[in-house]
Structures are given as C-alpha cells and as structure tokens.
C-alpha cells in the first residue's frame, strides 16, 4: 500500500506541474492587454508602460513564469490586477459556494441514480426499465443552459417557490443543485444499471438467492458492493467537474462561486486571478481523481498489486 500511495502522489505532482505550466502560457496567449483594460482607452502610453513595468509584464515570458512558479511554491498567488486584493482571500471567499453547489448536485445525482439504476436492472425490459432509460436520455440530452432557465420560469417566476438567483439560504440552492445533478444522475443511472446487470448474473448472486437471502440484502450487500468500482469512476470524474465550478450553472443562477469568478476575471484580463482560478479547478480535479485511485486500492486489493 505505501508504494501504491507514493506512485499515485508522484503522478499527481507531475500532472499538476504540467497543468500549471500549460495554464500560464495559454493565459498569456489570450488576446487583449490587461494594462489597457485597467487604465481604459484614455490612458497615455507613459502610464501604460509604467503600470506594465510595475506589474512585471514587461519581462520575458520565461522570466514571468519562473517568478510565478517561485511565488506559487511559497504559497503566494499575488494580487488581483483589477481589485488589488490578495488572490488567496478572493478564492477563500468564493470556493465554499462552489463546494456547497457541487455537494448538493452530487447528492441530487446519487438520490436519483441509485434507485433508478437499481430498479431498471432488477426489472429489466419492463416499463420501469424503459422509464429509467428515458429519464437518462433526457438528462443527458437537455443542456444546463436550457434546463436552468426553465426551472427558474416554472418554480421561481410562476410558482414563486424558490429565489430566482443568488446565494441566500437553503432554498436558493435547490434549483442550481437540480440543474447540476440531473445530467450526472442520468450518466450515473445508466452506469448503475449496466454494472448491476453484469453482477446479478454472477454465481455468488445465484448462491445467495439459493440460500434464501432477501432480494434487498442481495442487491445492497453483494451486488452494489461488487459493482462499486465503475460507479466510483463516474462519481470521481464528475465530482472533479462539479468542483471545477459548473460555470454555466453558476452564471445562470448568479451563484458566487469559482466558475463565475473565472468568467469575470477573463473578461477583465485579470491574468493572476484567471491562473489562480484554473489552478484551483485543476487541483480539485486532480485531487479527486487521485483520491478515487486510492479508494480503488482500498476496495480492491488487486488494483494495488498491479502497480
């Protein structure tokens, strides 16, 4: 197990180093001048050059990268070019909102997918199976930028049950969580169904039934447990995506998370803040997938021995 953990942590560090470098150079290739955006079109060339020197943007790109990496390893993300605030404070203020939305979306997906996928597998080729698959097809097909406004029109404007936007109490979380969790529930439900169908045909399931065990106990304690690895794969990948900010959902509902912050900083050409946002998204994604790999090794020892 220690060698397995070490290999996964080394892989995570290598990926993060590559991601940070790629982000830095791609951000600096984006058209637009942050100094011009900060000072406006009426700024004189002297003012533009003075601010560019003060921000270190006059130095060669490799020099800027080296300084950025040095500061990063010291825990210094710099200050926002737009607000002048420390970037770490901005991220600390915004990231809890994204965590809250991601957790709620994941909860909605699990509550929908596990029952639907299990019923579809246990009642294969029946109306229940067909209904679950229709829901999965709709969940995958309907985009967030359409579902979100439709939910707002129905439940906020017509019925008045939930706030239209913003982050003000538990009720304001319901519609964004449903919007975010529905697509994941559709993917996860199909995975639960397919893996359960494979497991339910195994010999140990037939043996458990022959011993007279209840069907619910067989599904929960034997089938779902042995079908967990593919399900965990989908959960790990999708949770990384949810933690990545769920940009469209946050924009639709004016949710003050990392996704909305990333769009705002791109529009303002705030290079340091954009880099920090994408870095946080990448860290979340890589960390969740590394945790998923480690969980694999804990659930199935064969994974550890194959390293």
Nearest to 274 by CA among 256, 255, 261, 284: 261
Between 147 and 243, name the one with better pLDDT.
147
* pLDDT over threshold 60, residue 245: no
Residue 283 Cα distances to 75, 102, 141, 277, angstroms = 14, 15, 29, 10
Are 184 and 291 contacting, i.e. CB atoms less than 8 angstroms apart? no
% of the chain surpassing 70 pLDDT: 86
pLDDT digits (tens, 9 = 90+) for 112-142: 888 888 888 888 878 888 888 888 888 778 8
User: What is the reported pLDDT for 304?
Assistant: 52
Judged on CB neighbours under 10 Å (0-12, 13-18, 19+), 109 is: buried
User: What is the reported pLDDT for 223?
Assistant: 75
pLDDT digits (tens, 9 = 90+) for 172-203: 888 888 888 888 888 888 888 888 887 777 77
Mean pLDDT calculated for residue range 252-277: 82
* pLDDT over threshold 60, residue 307: no
In this prediction the pTM is 0.76
User: What is the reported pLDDT for 262?
Assistant: 85
User: What is the reported pLDDT for 12?
Assistant: 75
* pLDDT over threshold 60, residue 280: yes
Residue 221 DSSP symbol: I
pLDDT digits (tens, 9 = 90+) for 11-66: 777 887 888 888 778 777 766 666 666 666 667 777 677 767 766 777 777 888 88
Nearest to 86 by CA among 95, 77, 73, 98: 77
User: What is the reported pLDDT for 266?
Assistant: 79
Residues 6+ apart with CB under 8 A from 173: 100, 101, 104, 167
User: What is the reported pLDDT for 296?
Assistant: 67
CATH for 95-305, options being 3.10.20.30, 3.40.50.300, 1.10.3720.10, 3.40.50.150? 1.10.3720.10
Average pLDDT, the chain: 78
């Amino acid at each position: 197990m220690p060698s397995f953990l070490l290999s996964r942590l080394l892989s995570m560090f290598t990926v993060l180093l590559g991601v940070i470098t790629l982000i830095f150079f791609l951000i600096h290739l984006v058209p637009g001048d942050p100094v011009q955006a900060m000072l406006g079109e009426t700024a004189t060339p002297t003012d533009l050059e003075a601010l560019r020197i003060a921000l270190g943007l006059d130095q060669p790109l490799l020099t800027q990268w080296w300084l950025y990496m040095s500061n990063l390893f010291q825990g210094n993300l710099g200050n926002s070019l737009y607000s002048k605030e420390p970037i770490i404070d901005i991220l600390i203020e915004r990231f809890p909102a994204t965590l809250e939305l991601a957790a709620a979306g994941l909860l909605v997906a699990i509550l929908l997918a596990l029952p639907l996928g299990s019923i579809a597998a246990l009642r294969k080729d029946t109306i229940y199976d067909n209904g679950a698959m229709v829901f999965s097809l709709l969940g995958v097909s309907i985009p967030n930028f359409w579902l979100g406004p439709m939910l707002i029109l129905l439940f906020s404007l017509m019925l008045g049950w939930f706030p239209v936007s913003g982050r003000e109490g538990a009720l304001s979380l319901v519609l964004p969580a449903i919007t975010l969790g529905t697509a994941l529930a559709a993917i996860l439900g199909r995975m639960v169904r397919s893996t359960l169908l494979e497991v339910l045909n195994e010999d140990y399931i037939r043996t458990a039934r022959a011993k007279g065990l209840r069907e619910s106990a067989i599904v929960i304690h034997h089938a779902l447990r042995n079908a967990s690895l593919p399900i965990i794969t989908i959960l790990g990948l999708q949770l990384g995506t949810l933690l990545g900010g769920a940009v469209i959902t946050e924009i639709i509902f004016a949710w003050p998370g990392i996704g909305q912050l990333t769009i705002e900083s791109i529009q303002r050409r705030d290079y340091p803040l954009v880099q920090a946002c994408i870095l946080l998204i990448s860290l979340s994604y890589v960390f969740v997938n590394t945790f998923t790999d480690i969980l694999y090794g804990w659930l199935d020892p064969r994974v550890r021995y194959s390293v």
